[in-house]
Amino acid sequence: MTALDSLTRPDLPTDDREFRELVRDWLRTNVTGDFAALRGRGGPGDEDIGFDVRVEWEKVLGAAGWIGLGWPREFGGRGATVDQQIIWAEEYVRAEAPARTNHMGENLLAPTIIEYGTPEQCARFLPGILRGDERWCQGYSEPNAGSDLANVQTKARLDGNEWVIDGQKVWTSLAHVSHWCFVVARSEPGSQRHQGLTFLLVPMDQPGVEVRPIRQVTGGGEFNETFFTEARTSADLVVGRPGDGWKVAMALLGYERGISTLAQQVGFERELESTVDLARRFGRIDDPIMRQKLAAAHTGLHLMKWNALRSMSAKGVPGPEASISKLFWGTWHRDLGELMMEIMGPSGLIGESLPYELTLEQKLFLFTRSDTIYGGSNEVQRNVLGERVLGLPK
Ligand SMILES: Cc1cc2nc3c(=O)[nH]c(=O)nc-3n(C[C@H](O)[C@H](O)[C@H](O)COP(=O)(O)OP(=O)(O)OC[C@H]3O[C@@H](n4cnc5c(N)ncnc54)[C@H](O)[C@@H]3O)c2cc1C
């Protein structure tokens, strides 16, 4: 029996209405006490809030089988349909359950090792994610490798039965609270661009890894610089073949546009509702120009949802819809942040309390400035669409 066999979960109802009832009841019974105190908290710009409590919440979700909902059953998931996963996301937002803490592990790394990893890697890493007690971060970007990711300079070399890693990553979200990092490193000396890269699974708790927090404009510190100085990981913790890391790294990015996009949009719906409430509170709801802006945001949200559904129903290699989707939602969310500030007018510039505590709306506004950068900047998405879709010259 492997570690995965022991994680077989009870069946889900096949009827979507029954499934919705099950989810709603479970959330009603469990979002209580300390968890209820964090209702609607921990989202963009608010990531530091109640982190320890949210970690406990993740374990409660894991014990009840709500992590890995859409993973195949043989890997310890529940094999939920896309519709059920959307229902889960909708009910989760409706219950205002605390924001999750391991998006990178559950939604990005896990499907990648299911596709490219060895059975031993699946047995070693999937249970920790399913239980909610092993968090992951993403070691892709470097000071000179962001949009131009193929310029990765972090090095990895084999020393006996271990990889030795040297280099610097940057903007590593949640590295300071992660147990593991998936690192793209150059393992073939002298190799260029996409060649000679390797995708490694590296433990964070070791002398060779130093994490330096970066204080953000929101006041929080969600991301970090991560330094690897003779950091080590076991020789068998390479996903895919050594030198073939680009393929694995790109496959992982493909999962970013999966079901988690729809869950994110359910969150956007809630933020749009709050924006409408804000317009009411600030006496702007009858202003015809403001009404048009709110209606445009509402329409944009629906376009986004249909595009995401179209993108997910398309099979095969991710097409241009991935770039359309990123460009659209990043811009939409940034504009929503600006709309919130416009509604609040001059009072939007004043902190909530000393020593300069920001309101949730202010934090959201500041965080949304990054939406058009991470996951591929707007300019890069436009390049992809221009060159690969419209056939324009480079
Ligand atoms: C909130 C946040 C969280 C992040 N989390 C992570 C993480 O967990 N792990 C990780 O590895 N990375 C993470 N990143 C990094 C993110 O992937 C990079 O910021 C992004 O890829 C852009 O790279 P860069 O910051 O180096 O900017 P650069 O690539 O230096 O770009 C600077 C500017 O130049 C423009 N530009 C660059 N190339 C071109 C071109 N060819 N044509 C036209 N314009 C161009 C860009 O659009 C941008 O405006 C995060 C970033 C943010 C903001």
What would the pLDDT profile of 123-144 be if each residue is shown by its tens digit? 999 999 999 999 999 999 999 9
- DSSP characters over 289-355: HHHHHHHHHHHHHHHHHHHHHHHHH--SS--THHHHHHHHHHHHHHHHHHHHHHHHGGGGGS-SBTT
- The pTM assigned to this predicted structure is 0.93
CA of 368 to the centre of ligand 1 (A): 14
- Is there a contact between 260 and 106 (Cβ–Cβ < 8 Å)? no
**Which residues are 158's β-sheet partners?**
163
pLDDT at 228: 98
Residues 6+ apart with CB under 8 A from 233: 162, 163, 165, 200, 201, 202, 203
Mutate to test the pocket of ligand 1, among 148, 334, 377, 387 (most ligand atoms within 8 A of CB): 377
Summarize pLDDT for 32-68 with one digit per residue, the tens: 999 999 998 888 778 888 999 999 999 999 999 999 9
Residue type, 113: I
The best mutation among 374, 381, 382, 394 to test binding of ligand 1, ranked by most ligand atoms within 8 Å of the C-beta, falls on 374
Model confidence at 299, in pLDDT bands (50, 70, 90)?
very high
- State the pLDDT at residue 254: 82
pLDDT, mean over the chain: 92
| Amino acid in the structure at residue 145 | A
Report how far ligand 1's centroid is from the alpha carbon of 147 (Å). 5
Q: Would you state the pLDDT for residue 7?
A: 64
Residue having the nearest C-alpha atom to atom 23 of ligand 1: 146
Alpha carbon distance 331, 349 (integer Å): 22
**Please, is 227 exposed, middle or buried when counting C-beta atoms within 10 Å of its C-beta (0-12, 13-18, 19+)?**
middle
The neighbouring-strand residues paired with 225 are 170, 212
Ligand 1: which atom is nearest the Cα of residue 383?
A: 42
Residues annotated catalytic, as ranges: 256
Phi-psi region at 239: left, alpha or beta (left = phi > 0; alpha = psi -120 to 50) = beta
Give the atom of ligand 1 at the shortest distance from the alpha carbon of 147.
29
Q: What is the pLDDT of residues 372-387, one digit of tens each?
A: 999 889 999 999 899 9
Helices (H), the chain: 16-30, 33-36, 51-63, 82-94, 103, 110-116, 119-131, 245-255, 259-281, 288-313, 321-344, 360-368, 378-384
Measuring CA to CA, which residue among 205, 209, 204, 201 is closest to residue 229?
209
